[in-house]
Structure formats: C-alpha cells, structure tokens
Amino acid sequence: MAKEIERKFLVKGDTWRGQGGGKRYRQGYLSTVKERTVRVRTVGDQGFITIKGITVGATRSEYEYEIPLADANEMLDRLCERPLIEKTRYRITRGSVVWEIDEFEGENRGLIVAEVELKDEKQSMSFPDWIGQEVTDDPRYFNANLVARPYSKW
C-alpha cells in the first residue's frame, strides 16, 4: 500500500522566489468525502488520477496513476466539482528534502503553501526562513476543502 507522509506550512515573504522552477497545475475532485478523495490533475502535457485515504497525523494512503491528457481534461471540464484548483507549483531542494510551494490562483488567489514529503513523521529537517505557521492539521488547507470553501471566502 502506498503511503504519503506530508507536512504543510504557510509561506511568508518572497525570499523563496527564484529558487526553483514552476509548473502550472489544474486539478479537480470527483469525490471530496472525508474518508477518501479522488482527484484528477493535469501537469503540463500529463494527466493523472489520484485516490487518497483519510489523513491520520501527517500520513495517508495514496494511489496515483497517469491517464491520457485528453481524458483528464474532459473530466476536469465536465465531471469535477467547482471551482477547480489552479496553481503554480515550485520545487526547491533544501538539504535532503524537496519543498513544493503552491501559489494558488482563481478563487484561492493569495494563498501560498509549502509542503514537504517525508520518509517518516518524526524525520528531522531544517526550515528555510520563508516557512511560516504549520497547517498540517488544519483541514481548511487541504486542496479538496479549498473547492468547497475557497480561500477568498474565509
């Protein structure tokens, strides 16, 4: 079984900019129930479908599969809940970890979140100066919840 161990933080300031390249993401949800989410995503010219289980601490089951780009776009346009999540993801390597910074657009414009995937929940790491408050346990920041309650409506 695939497991994802991820911590999430707010980003402060702009000193992170220019440290890593960005890619446009467009994603939507076929299911956003607490026990499981089913996400469709495009990244450049690739499409993916991802199934995630319930989060316990910073860990959850995750299964991701590449699908044809045309299928992903059709699901995003016709089947996914609204609004879609639109963001640019930047990847910055610091020491032994890769930080993924999501700068949201659309109804979630203004939200910038950094995520880091770990080997285990107790893995130690150093934090860049642009890392702010941890929001791993705050469900408002789950992408699936940003569909039902976008950042612009907080």
- Among 42, 39, 20, 17, smallest CA distance to 30 is for 39
Q: Active-site residue among 25, 29, 90, 141?
A: 29
Cα–Cα–Cα angle for 137, 147, 139, nearest 5°? 10
Question: Does the annotation mark 29 as catalytic?
Answer: yes
Catalytic residue ranges: 29
